[in-house]
Every structure is written in structure tokens, then in C-alpha cells.
A and B are shown apart, each in its own frame.
Chain A
Amino acid sequence: MMADSGSNEEVAVIGNTDITSTESESNIINTMVERETALLRKMEINVAEAEKRTGKNTVNMQETYTVYLIEIRPAETVPGVGAPAAPDTLWRRYSDFELLRTFLLVTYPYIIIPPLPEKRAEFQWHKLSADNLDPDFVERRRVGLENFLLRVASHPVLSNDKIFFFFLTEEKGWREAVLETGFQDKADSRLKSLSAMFRVKNPDKRFTAMKQYSDELNTVISQLLRVRARVADRLYGVYKVHGNYGRVFSEWSAIEKEMGDGLQSAGHHMDTYAASIDDILEEEEHYADQLKEYLFYTDAVRSVCKKHDLIQYELEMAAQDLVSKKQQREELATGTVRVFSLKGMTSKLFGTESQEQRESRLAALEQSIQEGEEALKEKNTECQEFVQMAWEDIERFKEQKDKDLREALISYAIMQISMCKKGIQVWSNAKECFNKM
């Protein structure tokens, strides 16, 4: 299954420390593309642009929203030959993506569905605004949406979904098509899945462990993101205050003779230093986004585990139902009342029923038992299939997570190195200027 192109291996290897973080990011995207699903063999997917639109919403009020341009290009078979074909494009807004994802969640409950980028900005440090129309936020969301599409497109199961295909190719009529599938009816009520979670008796231990892991992961990544935002905030403060040196040294240099030149040029370097933090922290946001993706993934993992609980619970209910019906049959057949039942009570109080009534009841019960056994068998199969498919996807997910997060940590290290190199440059220059004083 590994691509033979050889340029990017499954494990993105860092050839030198000068690789930039954007290069490292594209390494991750490349590893996704490398998985070569049928879909990706056919097409290249981009979320190219974002645009503001205004229109009437469902309650007939004016609103401003952002749409994203999806570009599909046929995958190049022979690179570099001929002009690249013009892409097919269509516009989608965030709520369309949400609808798609909900559809996938319901239709493939045993798959860990990739998460969407956040709807509203969270874990911000003070400089970034929480405004959804802020250009930086929109840009990062664009990247996140492209990421989402690529994740789905590179998934062995999800990439074959027709609705997904239409999402990429049919601008009009897609929403109707989705709703027509009637997927909403298949969605489990929250109450049902909640009660299942508490009442299931014998869940598969692996799923229990996985659920616990995903809860813990959620907690630890949240904490990490919060602290990181605070650290970024403080670092911003330190760098920006150095900018004041620029102004003050310049003023001081005006009154000095021999020291003037050295001070003035040192001041310029301080200005450079203060300005450099903006780019540095902008890059770090990409790292935060990578962590956030996996934070949101934990919700998807949790969903799969909950679905397992539900199915297992239904299986247990079906088995229990069958057992109680068989008991009833036994009681009816032998006339013994083993377990307290209303029927037993009423027959004691009001007299037993006639032989005919008993036989017709027995027959109905037999029918019911047979149906129950069918249902149980079905449920069992369903459960086994679910467990198998879900666990397969969980293994795939674990591998993906390990690789992606290792890449993320490496790109973080690269960012830190770049920041250190800039710092070394500035202070070497400042040192030279001070020397000339």
C-alpha cells in the first residue's frame, strides 16, 4: 500500500533542521495523500479561497457569512506534460461542511470521523481576535477545512461515499440529496445512547479503555493548549517591550558623541527584535491547530465507543428479552409460576384461563421467541461486525495519530530553532553595535 514515489516515506524524515514548519506541514498532507485511495488517485482537492457573502438566513434576517472555494483537479498522471487543466470549483459554507460531517457520523458509526476546525475561536491568546470574520481566523479555518476534506478523501472507507463525492462535485442540490437519504432518522437519540452508556453490562474492554484514553487525551491537550496560549501571550509582551529600547536608545544617541552611532544602530536591532514575534507566534498557531485537530478527534473516538455501548446494550437487551420470553413459555407449558408476574397474580385471583387461551398464548409466544432468536442473531452479527470494523479503524487512527503528532512535535522544535536563530542574529548585531559605542 505504500507509495513507490520514494520522495516522501510513511514516516516524514527530517533531512536537515532548516526545513520550515510549512514544509513540515505539507509533509503531513503528503502522508495523507500517499495513502492513495481510489478517490485521490483520481483527483486533487484544494480549499483555495474564502469570500464574504451576505444573504438571508432561515429566519429571514440579513447575515454575513463566509464561503469557501473547493477546487478539484484531475490528478496528474504525467507530471509536467501539458498545461494543468482548469479546476472544477464550487462554493461551500461552513454549515455545509457540518451537514456533511453529521451525515458521515450517522452513516458510519464505526468510523472515527475526522473533525472540523472550530466554529468559534477558542484557546486564543489576547492578540488574536475571536471574531469569525477576522482574516487570520478565516485563513486558518480554510486550512482546517482543506485538511478535513483530505482526511476524508484518504480514508479507506469514507472516500468511497457517494454523498461525499457529490459534496465535492455538485454545488446545487447537494443539501437536498443529503436530506433525502433520511439519515436523520437513523441518528440515535441522545437519551438512548446516554442510558446505554450507564446500563451496559459487558462492554468490550478494549472500547472501555479507548474511551478512557480519549477522555484523558482530551483533558491533557486542553490543558496544554491553555498553557501554550498563556506562554505565547507573555512572550509577546517580552518582545514588544524591547521595542521601547529602540525609541529610547535613539533619543539617547542624539545627546552623545562617541556613543551615538552605536546606540542608534542597536536601537534599530531592538525594533527588529520586537517585530519578529508576530511571525513567530503566527507560525506557532499552526502547531496549536494540529493539536486542536486531535483534541476534536477525541470527541469522534468517544462517539464510536458510545455507539459500541449502545449496540452492546441492545444486544444484551435482546438476549435478556429472549431469556424472559423463554421463561414465560416454560411457565405456561408447565404451569409453574417461577417468577412473580402479573399474569400469575391475576390468574390466582381471577382463576386460570382456559386451555384454548393458553395454547394460543403459547403459540404467540413461540412465534415471538423465534423472532427474538432471529433478532438476537442479527444483533450479534451487527455487534461483531461493528466491533471488527470499529477496531480496525481505531488501529488505523492510532497509527495516524502517532505519526501526525510526532510530525507536529518535530515542527514545533523547528519553530523553536528558528526563533532561537533569529534571536542569535539580533543580539549578535546588537553586540557589535554596543562594541562600537
Chain B
Amino acid sequence: MVVQQRLLVVFTLRAAWKVQQHWAEVRLWRVSLFWLEISLKLHSLCGVFLGVSVNSSEFPSVFPPAACRLSACCWTEMSALFPAHLDLEEEEDLEVFSKKTSLTDGGPNSPSSMMNQYRLEAEEEEEEKEEKELFVTVDHPESHVTAIETFITYRVLTKTTRSDFDCSEFEVRRRYQDFLWLRSRLEENHPTLIVHPLPEKFVMKGMVERFNEDFIETRRRALQRFLSKISEHPLLSCSPHLKIFLTTQDLQSHKKQAPGFLTRVGETVRAVAHSVRGVRSRPEEFTLMQEYVEQFSSKISSVDKVTQRIIREQREYVDEMKQYSPPYSQWGGMEEALQLPLQEVAGCVQRCSTETQLQLQHLSTVLLPALHEYMLCADTLKAVMRRRDNIQAEYEARREAMEKRGDQEGEEVQALQEKVEVCNSSLQVDWSRWRSSMRTDLKTALLSTAESNLQHYEKCLAVWETFLLSQREEGSEQKEEEAP
């Protein structure tokens, strides 16, 4: 099949994806929007290079091998999904990138015009990003007491326009363990995707009680964020486990269908073996990623620590402030001419103390959780990188073993190689998505904090200026009294 035809298919699929009625058909192709995006981006890239290469005499060296291989990866994936009568051969693709091609004509099927079409559609898509297909909330915590234990469940409410869901609204109750289950399933099925972390099990540090109101509220917010992140993720939101989690009333029976204990042990053993062996030649972009993750982890942890200290100091300040207003009041009660100013100052101090309390609350409920979340993300990233390394190590081990035996490239090794490539490319894309999301989230949290602090000072300013104004008025009244 010629490139233009394939591109046409991809575009068509993509266009079909946007229309609800066609979702069922598109899904027959077992293709997700995520992959369509990747392949289209790659082909726009290929198109650009094609355009450049045709006009340059240095063609082979201009075209980066990586783009080629990734493209090949995608096609391998897609080719398996195309109906049998479509004749697909990879060699044909590579021919495209030779000078003999007639694709430079600029006709309606030329890469350049298709590229333009793609750009147009990309713009349209930006506008539509606001619409969410899947909208999840977590609320209404409730306490359950059984003979063995006491635990909290949360109401998980789902509203969706997706056609693969039977209804448009679902309501279930879930406990923390259920969230843990969902996350571990997602990580298992997508080892090199970045799955947003869950709030920690139990915070010993502040001696926080498990059933303390603040703790429950903080956890509820974090659980909601977790589900929001998952439902926004192009790949993870299509996970069957997510669907089960959101829709099934009785989750317990599903949970029992997890892969066997022994299988998991086997996987772990292999993982450890590979990590001990180490990766031979890690692609540079992942080394850079690793370095970044290490540093990010330590930096975000520092910011978190500083924020915690600020909260502690501020709490003590608020406590002292509360003691500061009564003496002024008391004094005012003893005086005559000074009574009013003293009472007013007492009032001002009191109001400022209340405002500081609000500011403190904002720090605890907005900034600190966001920082904490990204500390947990750093740990997730480290785990993802380890898994990626393991996949590569496993492939390298197999290949080495084969080469030692002198065998030809077997199917198993080839499959592993492809697995490595797929994982790498999916991680790459998810990585840039995560980076962008991190930037947005932390920027929002910091902006919000700055705004809250700003408002705090503005309110206190107003309080004291009112006092000054009233004193000024009193002063001018006195002046009038004393005037001869």
C-alpha cells in the first residue's frame, strides 16, 4: 500500500474518532487516539523531511534514523490491524524517501498538502480540548464499621459521553484499597507509562489520626486528582480496569481475577536479575531523563520541606496573635479618651489574626498537597525508568544468549526488540506530556499561593487604613472642639 493511501486511512480514522457514532467502528481497528496522534505527528515529521530532502543533495544523511525506526514501529503496529486485502510492505515505504518519488508534485495527495491538512486539524483540536469525555468526582466520605476493621469509603461519581460506557452516569462506593488495586493494574499493563501516584497509605509523621477530618479531606482531594489525571490520559483512560473501577458495583469479585501470585513473583525475580545485570547501552535521552528525575526529586522534596516549615512557623505565629488582642481590649476598658482607639486596635489585631489563619489554611490545602503529589510523582518516575531499563535489559540478555548459541535472529528476540521500541516511544511521549502537566500544575499552585498571600496583605492593609481614617476623623473633630 502506498504511503498516501495509508495516510488517508489514518486521517480518516482520526476524523471518524471525533464523531461519536463512528467510535464503535474505529475501535474495531483496535487503534487508540493516542497512537493516531503519534503516527500522524511522525508522518508530518516525515513529510517535512521529505520536503527538505528532495531539495537537498545530502538526502540520506539528513533523514534521522530514529524517526525512521519509530515510523516503522508505528506501521508495524498498525499493519496488524489493517484488513487482510490491503497489501502492505515496508520496503515500499522506504522507497518514498528516495528522490525518484513523484510525491513532490504538490498534488492533493502530496505530503505537503496532507501536512497542511494535518496542521489545520491540529488547530481545530486545540479548541476542543476543553471538552472532557470522562468526568469523575470523589466525595461523600463515609465510615464503615465491621467486626474486623473500620474503614472509609468514598462516593465515585462518573459522568461520561463515551459510547463504550453503557450509561452516561455511574455512582459507586470505593475504599482506598480499591484505588490501590486500580493503580497497580494500570501500572502492570502499561509498565512504561507514567501513572499518577496515589496519596500515601498512612502518614505517621504528623501523628495524624486515620479518621481525622482534615486527613480524610486531604486524601479525598488527592484521590480525586488521581482519577482526574487517569481519565485525562489518552491511553490510560481507555483501560478496561478503569471502566470496571468506575462502573462495577461489586469490585471485589473482579479483584480476585488478578494475575497469579507466582506469576508476579516470577516477574519480580526477572526484573531484579536484569537490574543487577544492568543495561548495556541506554539511549541517551533516557539517561538524561534519569538525571532529571533524580534532581527533580531532591528539589521538589526541598520545596516541600521549606513549605512545611513555613506552615509550622505560621501556625505558631497565629497562636501568639490570638493572645495579642485581649490586652488591648482590657486596657481600653480602663481608659476614657483612649478607650475607643484601643478597642479599635484590638479589633484590627483580631481581624488580621483571622486573615492569617485563612492564609495558613490555603498553604496547607493547596500548595503543600501539590508539592507532595509531585514528590510522589518523582518516585513513580524512578520506578518507570527502572521498568524501562528492565525491559531493555531482558531484550539484551536474550539477544546475547542467542548470539552465543549462534542462532539467527529468532522471533522471540525480535518481539522483545519491538517491545523495547514501543515502550521507549510511549515513554517519550508520556514524558513530555508529564513535563507539561507538571509545569501547569505547579505553576497553578504557586500562582494561587502568591495570590492568596497578596489578598491577605491587601485585607490587612484595609483593616489598618480604616483605623487610621477613623482616628483622623476623631482628630479633626477634636480640632473643631478646641478651636476658639
Within the complex, what minimum Cβ distance (angstroms) separates A119 from chain B?
Answer: 25
Q: Are B472 and A248 in contact (CB under 8 A)?
A: no
Residues of A within 8 A of B345 (CB): 409, 412-413
Known contacts A14-B475, A420-B461, A234 near B309 by CB under 8 Å: no
The complex places the Cα of A420 from the Cα of B355 at a distance, in Å, of 12
Residues of B within 8 A of A12 (CB): 475
The complex places the Cα of A11 from the Cα of B471 at a distance, in Å, of 11
Residues of B within 8 A of A248 (CB): 299, 302-303, 306
Known contacts A216-B334, A221-B331, A249-B303, A235 near B317 by CB under 8 Å: yes
Within the complex, what minimum Cβ distance (angstroms) separates B385 from chain A?
Answer: 16
Residues of A within 8 A of B341 (CB): 406, 409
Known contacts A431-B454, A437-B439, A437-B446, A405 near B471 by CB under 8 Å: no
- A14-34 contacts to B, CB under 8 A, are 14, 17
Q: Are B439 and A251 in contact (CB under 8 A)?
A: no
Residues of B within 8 A of A249 (CB): 303
Within the complex, what minimum Cβ distance (angstroms) separates A280 from chain B?
Answer: 13
The answer to whether B327 has its CB under 8 Å from any CB of chain A is yes
Q: Are A237 and B475 in contact (CB under 8 A)?
A: no
Q: Are B306 and A244 in contact (CB under 8 A)?
A: yes
- A239-276 contacts to B, CB under 8 A, are 241-242, 244-245, 248-249, 251-252, 255, 258-259, 262, 266
Q: Are B461 and A11 in contact (CB under 8 A)?
A: no
The complex places the Cα of A235 from the Cα of B320 at a distance, in Å, of 10
For B439-460 the 0/1 string (1 means CB < 8 A from A) is 1001100110011011011101
A-B contact count (CB 8 A): 154
Known contacts A11-B479, A406-B471, A427-B454, A413 near B464 by CB under 8 Å: yes
Residue of B292, B334, B451, B468 with most chain A CB atoms under a 10 A cut-off: B468
Residues of B within 8 A of A99 (CB): none
Within the complex, what minimum Cβ distance (angstroms) separates B342 from chain A?
Answer: 7
Report which of A251, A266, A427, A434 forms a contact with B457, defined as CB distance below 8 A. Answer: A427
Which B residue sits closest to A424, measured CB to CB?
Answer: B457
Q: Are A406 and B316 in contact (CB under 8 A)?
A: no
Residue of B296, B327, B479 with most chain A CB atoms under a 10 A cut-off: B327
The complex places the Cα of A368 from the Cα of B177 at a distance, in Å, of 104
Residues of B within 8 A of A213 (CB): 334
Known contacts A238-B314, A406-B341, A424-B454, A14 near B468 by CB under 8 Å: yes
Q: Are B454 and A428 in contact (CB under 8 A)?
A: yes
Q: Are B303 and A252 in contact (CB under 8 A)?
A: yes
Within the complex, what minimum Cβ distance (angstroms) separates B192 from chain A?
Answer: 22
The complex places the Cα of A237 from the Cα of B460 at a distance, in Å, of 19
Which A residue sits closest to B291, measured CB to CB?
Answer: A255
Besides A241-B309, A413-B345, A424-B454, 10 new A-B residue pairs in contact (Cβ under 8 A), listed by A number: A9-B479, A224-B328, A228-B324, A234-B313, A238-B313, A249-B303, A259-B443, A409-B345, A416-B464, A420-B461
Report which B residues bind A (CB closer than 8 A). 292, 295-296, 299-300, 302-303, 306, 309-310, 313-314, 316-317, 320-321, 323-324, 327-328, 330-331, 334-338, 341-342, 345, 348, 352, 439, 442-443, 446-447, 450-451, 453-454, 456-458, 460-461, 464-465, 467-468, 471-472, 475-476, 478-479, 482
